[in-house]
Structure 1
Amino acid sequence: MEWHVDGAASWLAFPTNLHFIWGDDHARISAEVAVFYIFTKISVDMYAGAVFIQLALRWNIYLAIVLLLVITALYTVAGGLAAVIYTDAAQTAIMLAGALTLMGFSFVEVGGWSALMEGYSLAVPSVRVPNSTCGIPREDAFHIFRDPVNSDLPWPGVIIGMSVPSMWYWCSDQVIVQRSLAAKNLTHAKGGSLLAAYLKILPFFAVMLPGMISRILYTDEVACADPDLCKQICGNSVGCSDIAYAKLVMELLPSGLRGLMMAVMIAALMSSLTSIFNSSSTIFTMDLWKSFRSEASEWELMIVGRVFVLVLVVVSVLWIPVVQASQGGQLFIYIQSISTYLQPPISIIFLMGCFWKRTNEKGAFWGLVIGLAIGCVRMLLDFIYPTPPCYEEDTRPGVLKYVHYLYFSILLSVITLSVVVVVSLATEEPTPEQISRLTWFTRFDPVKPKEKLEEVSCQSNDREPQRNNEHMDEHKSSCASSVSSTSSQSKWMSVIYWLCGMERRRQGDNNPVTPPAFEQNICSLEEKPTLQYVVNVNLIISLSVTAFIIGYWA
């Protein structure tokens, strides 16, 4: 795939181009993103995949994780990025077909819509801790807008506190942004985002409702309320709700479809891991390592990237017990809580950088530092004082007991916003060159041709002036020795090159390709009227469907 930066990509790539505006703060953001990947992506994906393998094969969860990692490594080396792209598309179609099929089997098994509504409130496990609320379904389980004070998901927090971290993922996470940058033009990028929006509506029906049906059908397992019994069922004493969907797959689907669904879901998790590994490796080597070693060679960057991925894997595996035991064993709640502790500062800075031209490096830096410090303190307190089981008294500090994590997200966003505004106004204003084509208001600025860089290669040495003959002869000798060294490589070295993702060079391939002359790109923010109309209509349809679902379940 050939990457380019045209009119659309230059402002869509705002998160990856922060260094044009804020200099070294881009490295600081990259470090924070790498931490996010450990807490919210790699560990979660490993754990989710291991749960499926454990349920299907009855293996120890850590053995399942090792197997998942080994297969992922082979899959990445053998297929590469192209395989990931093509299999993602195929897996999405198969997963949707399998999920909708499973939804149909689930509703047939439970007895229809009315049986779901009536049966969920009666799905109480037979073994419970006496004199407690453990295992009893919530009365507001079918409501989106729940009590703002006493509920598990207060409605102001759902609307605002959950939306702010979502902006980080959908607008500035490299895994998402790089797919927008791969679009041919702005219309294609919009169409891809709208397709994702449509697909995000389906899990409400194809994942969430079947999960509730799973509690009705397998109440004593999915909704187990006794710690010892939960430990026997799923190996997690705080609860087994994470196995709800996997339980449906294993119990309801026919053998062939069950195997296909399991294979596709595990393959999708592996594909997600490869994308995350690729993104995190790129972030660390290009944004962090090169800031310390600007002259690092390609080999060095390759090795550092592989080692960093290995470190990420080790730390993520060590973090899995925390994922397993956090938030009463509810994986979704764990993801949301960690997101609200760490992601709001970047979301606020992203929005300020896009829509306020006065935002500068110092404002972004102090907003990140203060926001991340406060978020980390809350996260550490949450791990030190975990939510007590339903049969124990809540003796946590007041900041944990009375400030819901969704409300904390709002508070953290306001603090970060205040710091960015105050510091930016108190310091120098960014120059027009620093924000050209990187904010909403400067996205139509004309593209300025870049200065051509002089290229030195073995092929062009003979055309250099006579005064550089000695230097050129030395360079030719170096190139010739490189060719000779390459040609003498053994087959084992070729295998090592392949495993490391480095192609073995042949004689004559050492000459770097001189980049073509700069050509003025046509601003791809200018869309074709017909396609723009189609995209806008689909946007209205998507928003209407979302509004209906929220209003119906409010």
Structure 2
Amino acid sequence: MIWWPVGASLFASNVGSGHFIGLAGSGAASGIAVTAYEWNGMFIVLLLAWIFLPIYISSGVTTMPEYLKRRFGGKRIQIYIAVLYLFIYIFTKISVDMYAGAVFIQQALHWDLYVAVILLLAITALYTVAGGLAAVIYTDALQTVIMLVGALILMVFCFIQVDGWEGLQDKYFKAIPTVRDTNTSCGLPRQDAFHLFRDPVTSDLPWPGVLVGMTVPSIWYWCTDQVIVQRSLSARNMLHAKGGSLFASYMKVLPFFMMVLPGMISRILYPEEVACADPEICTQVCGNALGCSDIAYPMLVMKLLPVGLRGLMMSVMIAALMSSLTSIFNSSSTIFTIDLWRYFHPRASEWELMIVGRVFVLVLVVISVLWIPLVQASQGGQLFIYIQSISSYLQPPIAIVFMAGCFWKRTNEKGAFWGLVLGMLSGCIRMVLDFVYTAPQCHEEDTRPAVLKYIHYLYYSVILSVFTLIVVVVVSLATEPPTKENISRLTWYTRFDKPVQSALEIKTVDNDRDSASPDRQQLSTMEDSHKPDSKVKSAILCICGLERKNERNSQEPPKPEPNTCSLDEDPCKKHIVNANLIICMCTAVFLWAYFA
């Protein structure tokens, strides 16, 4: 494993089809402010490699819920966080990617939305059924190249149509649909469309929320999410992990040019469809009365590109979808089997874990398909805003607990648990209110409760983060401190400690040695070696990437492979990546300042 597949996989996992459709649609609707999410991620993905990853590597964990279990002890946090991760994947990842990919196929082939969803799932299943993490990472790296080539070609065609950057700035404000209510702002482009920093009270993305409110969910995504972190954990050493994060950070510059600006150009070229302001017309165009900005990117592909390049862009969108879905399926299956199923069935065999993981992925898919209508109707039909609003309600409590566990040694299990419970309860209440009281359209009066009307979801993210942190600190200080084994090698300050073996582990090892006699070991080995597999079972094992092995006891749960990534760094190469860190951060600061 070398550094660039890790970085390409990080980028591909982030830039799924939902990202293409969502960013382009939000760019068409509100301008370049959505780019703030991308350029905020340039800093946060670097935090993963330089700050969080050394802690995870020293702790020797396989999953993020497993880290919380070791850091705080007990099982309830591990189980609780594993369930939360799976719910977040359904609400903000799987359903969104399936919907976005289906929108693209729907525009291209005029198929029914759910027929397109089933087709996408079938295509994805063809090559994921036999894949593990290594297969996902290398296919992500290949698909990243396809995505970049196709998207950059489309970007060139777009800028030719509007006569470059100056033409875009001039024509965007003239892109107004002919059918609209002139007494309202419906169909009019925002006057601050080319600004990253917008009014803190009246704008759709207030600048204090952009700077603070989106940072905490971004930390969850880049520094504590299983989908992202497991790619960095697979690196050979810290230098490769840092190189991968740097590569991904540099790549985060591109979505602004590949997705957001083409989305704005799509509004210029097709204002009657992309910027439709009449509910009846929007229903005829895209089947969504709330708006059709989500079709901005598919419209460009189908109407602007010649036939041959359309096929390339179809492969780009399918590659983006498959990269994202395979990453999520792999991570979801790992979390469910390792953190949940093995808790209830501690002696589950490798065969059982494989079957359970595959079946659970099917369950996730079914639930996600049922959630698609809510994705379509939420946040005025803007997919990317839906993703970020749900993230602002569900992710801050988890991010705060991880940060407290990593950087404050006094954090204990009770503080972390009650911070998660109360923080998540507050976030879920706001999320439910968002679904019950949908955002009004431009011609409607805002009659929502004050917590929705006056508190932007990015501001709510800040409030939720502060509330969770207060709960964690107060409860931790009011209860007993954590034990040494819950701190050693599990925080930033103790990552170089010598491993601590608890008394319970020593006792378990001694009991295992006493109970395992040579006769029993030999008998078990002979039974396993002479136990034939049926042809059907052997075929399924081969397809799923599993092989029958002679084990001392087939009923023992398979132990995860030890983490091969090392904290050791070559001094010369360390200086190179640190210099690149400074260059990358300076690039991000320049972009923020230029477009602020």
Residue number among 304, 318, 322 corresponding to 2:374 in the alignment: 322
Q: Distance in 1 between matches of 2:571 and 2:303?
A: 50
2:500 is the alignment partner of 1:415? no
Aligned structure 1 segments of 4 or more residues deviating by more than 6 angstroms? 5-8, 449-452, 454-457, 520-523
- Which residue, 287, 304, 307 being the options, matches 2:359? 307
* Cα pair distance change 1:112/1:316, threshold 3 Å: same
Q: 1:541 aligned to 583, 589, 592, which one?
A: 583
Shift of 1:504: 5.1
2:419/2:469 contact within 8 Å kept: yes
Tell me what 2:113 maps to.
61
In the other structure, the counterpart of 1:517 is none
1:505 matched to 2:555? The reply is no
Aligned-partner Cα distance in 1 for 2:383–2:197: 21
Distance 1:6 1:108, change over 3 A: closer
Does structure 1 retain, via aligned residues, the 8 Å contact 2:393–2:431?
A: yes
- Residue in structure 1 matched with residue 58 of structure 2 by the alignment: 10
Q: Is the 8 A contact 2:177 2:275 kept in 1?
A: yes
Counterpart residue number, 1:550: 592
Matched, 1:159 2:203: no
Are residues 1:495 and 2:539 paired? Answer: yes
CA separation of 1:98 and 1:325: change in aligned 2, threshold 3 A = same
Decide whether aligned partners of structure 1 residues 473 and 521 sit closer, same or farther in structure 2, where only a CA change above 3 A counts.
closer
1:126 counterpart residue number: 178
What do you get for the CA RMSD once the two structures are aligned? 2.8
Give yes or no for the alignment of 1:89 onto 2:141: yes
Distance in 2 between residues matched to 1:56 and 1:329, nearest whole Å: 20
The verdict on how the C-alpha distance between 1:350 and 1:530 changes in structure 2, with shifts beyond 3 A counting, is same
**Mapped contact 1:12–1:181 kept (Cα < 8 A):** no
Aligned residues of 2:220 and 2:398 also touching (Cα < 8 A): yes
92-101 vs 252-261, which moves further:
252-261
Structure 1: segments with no counterpart, 5+ residues: 515-519
SS at match of 2:122: helix
The reply to whether residue 116 of structure 1 matches residue 168 of structure 2 is yes
Shift of 1:475: 3.3
AA in 1 matched with 2:580: N
Contact 2:227/2:331 (<8 A) preserved? yes
**What is the distance in 1 between the residues matched to 2:226 and 2:592?**
29
Match of 1:214 among 239, 261, 266: 266
Aligned match for 1:195, one of 244, 247, 253: 247
Q: Which residue of 1 aligns with 2:71?
A: 21
Q: TM-score, normalised by structure 1?
A: 0.90
In structure 2, the partner of 1:485 is 532
Structure number with bigger Rg: 1
Structure 1 residues 124-159: Cα deviation after superposition (integer angstroms, max 9, x where no partner): 111113522111001111111100000000000011
Helix, strand or coil at the partner of 1:263: helix
Range that drifts further, 448-457 or 388-397: 448-457
Q: Confirm or deny that 1:475 pairs with 2:475.
A: no
The alpha-carbon distance between structure 1 residues 503 and 522, as it changes in their structure 2 partners (threshold 3 A), is closer
Shift of 1:503: 3.2
CA distance in 1, matches of 2:418, 2:160: 55
Structural mapping, 1:321-470, within 5 Å = 321-447=373-499, 469=519
How many residues of Structure 1 are paired with residues of Structure 2 in the alignment? 531
Match of 2:283 among 226, 231, 246: 231
Query: Structure 1 pair 116/284, CA: closer, same or farther in 2 (3 Å)?
Result: same
Could you tell me how far apart the structure 2 residues matched to 1:438 and 1:535 are? 25
Query: What percent of counterpart residues are identical?
Result: 63
Deviation at 1:35, TM superposition (A): 0.5
The answer to whether the 8 Å contact 1:106/1:210 transfers is: yes
Per-residue CA shift, 1:302-353, capped at 9, x if unaligned? 3322222122111100101111111111111000000000000011111111
The one-letter amino acid paired with 1:49 is G
Q: Name which structure has the greater RCO, CA cutoff 8 Å, separation 6+.
A: 2
Per the normalisation by structure 2, the TM-score is: 0.84
Per-residue Cα deviation, 1:378-430 (whole angstroms, up to 9, x for no partner): 00000000001111111111110111100000000010000000001111111
Q: What is the rounded CA distance, in whole Å, between the counterparts of 2:137 and 2:524 in structure 1? A: 40
Contact 1:6–1:522 at 8 Å: present in 2 too? Answer: no
Residue 521 of structure 1 deviates from its aligned partner by: 10
Q: Structure 1 residues 288 and 80, CA, compared in 2 at 3 Å: closer, same or farther?
A: closer
The code of the aligned residue for 1:9 comes to I
Is 2:412–2:480's contact at 8 Å kept on the other side of the alignment? yes
